[in-house]
Structure 1
């Protein structure tokens, strides 16, 4: 059994397991080098990769045995190979502790250290630039920015032009966080989400010390890792936005909500009906978009109210006829669905927040009930 106490995972557990399973499921003759690259990326430090490299590629075999030699294979303990070790590590990844900030050192405990580097918009922009620099060195931008090689003459894409075409702002590369305003910084956060792609393989070009070259790029794992890293960075700096993990606005900054509401969004989007999913996804994107207006929030509620209207018979069957109308009375009487003189319009905008999450929870509830009824048929 692997001793996991010396390892620290620097990736989300599910992402590492997914990439590890993909690797072991492919019959590729360079799987060992790919595993080394994955371990180097996903774990803090070199301990995991070094332990993997120290193991034999295959178990030794013996065709002859005598009392003076080693015992026969059936009496030996199973030999741990690189493959068996790697599979066990992937299977027990949830047991590995995550990298954490070190406990305060002496100057920090005495109140003599510099201000927290994660605090303030200035510092978070610089921390973001360092993160992009690290991903660039690891080949995550090579698919869009290209990579230099002494053996190949090619006009590489101009990284500044790549960014300008997307954001409309010139001269953003190399990154100069001290010159960004808030909109530029947050725009770059969203742009790089769409640019990153993980190289699943790399090789070292030794001629003239050319360096590491990367290949086999995949956007999905890179974007998952990017959202996880950037969201942790934004949270530590107290920024009230996060990159959406799913939905129509995946990879775009949305207002921070609590864990319960984030879980509700995940459950509400796990619906099989493509029409309901598309409408629910659109409503969520409208409502939680950065700087969403009152009209956009009202429109999001109207979309959800339409879904519930279609499920009125189901709601009536579960709640009873007197209660089903309460769901729609709110939207109808408070200048949301219909706008006329009989409606109440003088209310706090926070009311929209309450009704949106109530309606979304009801959509999710009716989806669950409908699924349960189908299974019971």
Structure 2
């Protein structure tokens, strides 16, 4: 059955956050079973064969292997603990499953005692891609989240700003610009990001703007250049003093400032690039 948006979703009658925790659990288990039954986790978790246990790459104690990775127990086996999962538990196990998902490319059916399919070869990259395609629609409807290519659950990009994240950063300066922008984007979009982490992300972008300031001051009028930094300097982001407007230190305003900074950086870099071509 083709995946598509049906009438109630297209017309906005079903919105993000309207999937209950109980329905999220049921949908999670359905999608996990489908992939598990198709052999997508055999490479890492192994499986029970009629002739004895087949051990995966995580070894013969998957629960302990997962504990060593995430520092938390009572996550595995999933069917034993999922009823007591918090959102943090679900998001953690989803990231683990993403990293352990490998699409079967070669397999055979073991007839003895109707054992089932044995996967002999699989592809991690394809498996993880299918895992993201499977779970991202559910995560988006539940909490407006998505799995990144690295398998990290992040807040979905605000509609209309997708191009800012897809657009290449027009500079070769890795240390002062590219790395800071990449770090800021990840910090800000993490599903469990605290206010402090979001402020850090905004400071990272403000630092990039400050670094670019000497290069753009000749491309913009002085008044315009100064106004680019007014938000950073007076909205409780870069400095801590009596001038700060801390009443705006809230997630909604943080999102506005974040996208404002990010789009301004792209504008500045393209103005600089254009000037350098002359």
TM-score, length of structure 1 as denominator length: 0.60
Change (3 A) 1:331 1:151: same
Residue of 255, 269, 276 corresponding to 1:367: 269
Matched, 1:127 2:127: no
Q: Which residue of 1 aligns with 2:12?
A: none
Partner of 2:93: 188
State the shift of 1:174 in Å. 4.3
Q: For 2:86 and 2:75, locate their aligned partners in 1 and report how far apart those are by CA, in whole Å.
A: 14
Q: Structure 1 residues 290, 271: CA separation in 2 closer, same or farther (over 3 Å shift)?
A: farther
The offset of 1:282, in angstroms, is 0.8
Q: Report the Cα offset of residue 244 of structure 1.
A: 3.9
Cross-structure match for 1:26: none
CA gap of 1:103–1:260, structure 2 versus 1, over 3 A, is: closer
- In the alignment, is the contact (CA less than 8 A) between 2:75 and 2:93 conserved in 1? no
State the Cα deviation string for residues 232-266 of structure 1 (Å, max 9, x = none).
1133xx422412425xxx42222344322333223
Q: 2-side partners of 1:251 and 1:212: how far apart?
A: 27
Is the alpha carbon distance of 1:139 and 1:269 closer, same or farther for their aligned partners in structure 2, counting shifts above 3 Å? farther
- Structure 1 unaligned segments of length 5 or more: list them: 1-43, 45-97, 105-117
Deviation, 1:173, is 1.1
Task: Give the whole-Å Cα distance in 1 for the aligned partners of 2:122 and 2:138.
Answer: 25
- The question of 1:358 aligning with 2:260 is answered yes
Please give the residue correspondences for 1:188-267 in structure 2 after superposition, counting only pairs within 5 Å: 188-206=93-111, 209-235=114-140, 238-246=141-149, 250-267=150-167
Deviation at 1:152? 7.5
Structure 2 partner of 1:141? 41
In structure 2, relative to structure 1, the CA distance for the partners of 1:333 and 1:233 (3 Å cut) is closer
Q: Quote how far apart the aligned CAs of 1:148 are.
A: 4.7
TM-superposed CA distance for 1:122, in Å, is: 0.7
Q: Determine whether 1:297 maps to 2:198.
A: yes
Please give the alpha-carbon distance, in whole angstroms, between the structure 2 residues aligned to 1:153 and 1:355. 54
Counting matched residue pairs gives 262
User: What per-residue deviation string (whole Å, max 9, x for no partner) do you get for residues 271-324 of structure 1?
Assistant: 654333221111112222224222222211111111112222443343332211
TM-score (normalizing by structure 2): 0.78
Decide which moves more: 215-224 or 325-334. Answer: 215-224
What is the aligned partner in structure 2 of residue 331 from structure 1? 232
Q: Distance in 1 between matches of 2:47 and 2:3?
A: 30
**Which secondary structure does the structure 2 equivalent of 1:191 belong to?**
helix
Per the alignment, do residues 336 and 222 of structure 1 end up closer, same or farther by CA in structure 2, a change over 3 Å counting?
same
Is the Cα contact below 8 Å between 1:241 and 1:255 reproduced in 2? yes
Larger Rg: 1
- State the secondary structure of the residue aligned to 1:200: strand
Structural RMSD (CA):
3.1
Contact 2:139–2:146 (CA<8 Å) still a contact in 1?
Answer: no
* Cα separation, partners in 2 of 1:369 and 1:162, compared to 1, 3 Å: same
Unaligned 5+ runs, structure 2:
9-17
Aligned residue for 1:217, secondary structure, equals strand
Give 1:194 shift.
1.9
Where 2:154 maps in the other structure, the secondary structure is strand
